[in-house]
Amino acid sequence: MKKYLSSLVFAAVTFAQPLLAQNVDQGKKFFYYERYKSARETFEKILAANPNDINATYWLGQSLLELKDTAAAKALYQKALASNGNAPLLLAGMGGLELTEGKKDEARQRFETALSMSKSKDIAVINAIGRANTEAKNGDAGYAIEKLTAATQIKGFNSPETWILIGDAYRKQVDGGAAVSSYQKALALDPNYAGAKQAIGKVYLTQRNAEIFVPAFEDAIKMDPNYGPAYFELYYYYFNRDINKAKDYFDKYAAVTDVTPALDYERSSLLFAARRYDEAISTANSYISKLGDQADPRYYKLIAYSYNEKNDSINAKKYLDDYFAKQKEDGFVPKDYEFRATLLSKFPGNEAEAMASFDKAIALDTAQASRMELMSNAAAFAKKSGNRQLEADILGRLYTVKPNPSNVDLYNWGFANYQAQRYPTADSIFNVYIEKYPNEIFGYLWTARAKQAQDTTMSQGLAVPAYERLATKATELDPVKYKQQAVTSYFYLVSYYNDIKKDKATATKYLDKVLEVDPGNADASRIKDILNKPAKKSPAGGSKSPAK
């Protein structure tokens, strides 16, 4: 009888383990689909049946972190570690949480202990360490890449998730090429891994390359029609472009994702996209009235945007101020600060605060293309506000971060410094322009003008070599097109040699050069006649030069 009972217990345990693993896998599947509410509920049910399930505990903590419930995640990991202090996966999870708190040294110690205890052979543990360092602001992407890449060499390795995490770490380092290569390796292991195709799309999304990212998101859906994140990206892309497509993708997204307050907000925002601003305002206000302090702060932003479109800046600013007062720090996106800057600019006296908002937007945006757009907008705002020094500073930052800055970028940076009366800086920038674009006139022209601005009395002769070079280059490049630049340069040299150096012969030589490029120049002929007129004799027999 005992033997029979023992066999029943053994069978129950043996068959229960695959069932339990399947439940954990289902929870992980929800997590993969970014259905964090469903993932949390799944892992909570598993832990209700088996409080010591380490895998379920780790993934419940990750789900709570994604749901912005850091306190619950911390309490969960602390309680689990109290009884399972040597569990590598829990150590990795706690390390990730510590990274979110800025405790980098403590987190690194957790990771190293987890690796040591698992002999750096447990893919799940290494993935957890990679995930923590990739997702946390204080995480070390290089460390993640090192550990994850080593994991791909473990015998029997077959984890597309690892390659996804490597790609995410490279994205954190703003290395899009390496990121895409890693995501493609994930697809090589699992050709139907929709998350990998989605990740590739997001790389090109940051580059504003719709010809690649739109098909990538569409391919992700074809690979897995239940993959909600791809529907959401397409909904968001078409939000301000095609309301019908946006609504279609939103409906498809809503059918495969969790019902949450965030979903209600997105549904409300579609009213704004459809330009039904009054309905958007009333709907958002109804949620605020119904939910009170629990209402999504973005409803205030939605109302602000709607009033702005109705040209009601006063109400727009009021609701945007409410949004900034209620939103958590990690809930802001770069566009929030840009919108605030443009809205503040409509009220005189707020220029400094508006520029501070632009700076926050730029600092927050990690996507290169949108960050550069923000910098361009901020520079334009600074120029409009009359702050040419700030404009010059922003354009300088923009020039240094652009992967392939153009001659126009360099010119704008130099010209802004000239307008800001930073003449030595402008001179240096336009000398760089000459080095890069020797067959364009602009570098020669503005180095001459910058030198002239530094020596307005001509007493130092700072601009003389620059104007000589400008005149020579103007005639070399195109004497017809750049005749005016050559003439202006020669007249400057006439003034310098006649007025400062008292060298009438050299001044006359430059007048002749004016007449070479512009034979009909009446001023050159008139001045030459004056310089060549014999000096009048003084009563004492002296002479006096007519040209003073």
Do the domain assignments include residue 507?
A: yes
Q: What's 498's DSSP letter?
A: I
Q: State how many domains the chain has.
A: 1
Do the domain assignments include residue 478?
A: yes
CATH code of 491's domain: 1.25.40
Give 156-208 pLDDT, tens digit per residue.
Answer: 999 999 999 999 999 999 899 999 999 999 999 999 999 999 999 999 998 88
Q: What is the pLDDT of residue 535?
A: 62
Q: What is the pLDDT of residue 355?
A: 85
| SS3 of residue 537 by DSSP | strand
Q: Which residues pair with 537 in a beta bridge?
A: 543
pLDDT higher than threshold 90 for residue 210: yes
Higher pLDDT, 468 or 355: 468
Q: What is the pLDDT of residue 101?
A: 94
Give me the sign of the Cα torsion angle 10, 14, 20, 24. Answer: positive
Do the domain assignments include residue 52?
A: no
- Distance (Å, whole) CA 46 – CA 41: 9
Q: Which distant-in-sequence residues (6+ apart) come within 8 Å of 533 by Cβ?
A: 546
Domain span holding position 485 = 458-548
Give 315-325 pLDDT, tens digit per residue.
Answer: 999 999 999 99
Number of H helices, E strands in the chain: 29, 2
Give 99-116 pLDDT, tens digit per residue.
Answer: 999 999 999 999 999 999
Amino acid at 364: L
Do the domain assignments include residue 10?
A: no
Residue 398, judged by CB atoms within 10 A of its CB (0-12, 13-18, 19+), counts as buried
Q: What's the token pair of residue 411?
A: 């010119």
From 346, 335, 267, select the one nearest 312 (Cα to Cα): 346
Give 18-32 pLDDT, tens digit per residue.
Answer: 444 558 999 999 999
Give 421-447 pLDDT, tens digit per residue.
Answer: 999 999 999 999 999 999 999 999 999
Q: What is the pLDDT of residue 488?
A: 95
Give me the sign of the Cα torsion angle 403, 406, 412, 414. Answer: positive
Give yes or no for a contact between 341 and 360, defined as CB atoms under 8 angstroms apart.
no
H/E run at residue 536: strand 536-537
pLDDT higher than threshold 50 for residue 1: no
pTM for the whole thing? 0.75
E-state strands within 404-487? none
Do the domain assignments include residue 504?
A: yes
pLDDT band at residue 365 using 50, 70 and 90 as cut-offs: confident
Q: What is the pLDDT of residue 542?
A: 45
Distance of CA 25 to the CA centre of its chain: 35
H/E run at residue 543: strand 543-544
Higher pLDDT, 384 or 19: 384
Do the domain assignments include residue 485?
A: yes
Do the domain assignments include residue 154?
A: no
pLDDT band at residue 468 using 50, 70 and 90 as cut-offs: very high
- Distance (Å, whole) CA 186 – CA 506: 74
Higher pLDDT, 360 or 300: 300
Across the chain, mean pLDDT equals: 91
H/E run at residue 132: helix 123-135
Provide the percentage of residues in the chain whose pLDDT is more than 70.
93
pLDDT band at residue 537 using 50, 70 and 90 as cut-offs: low
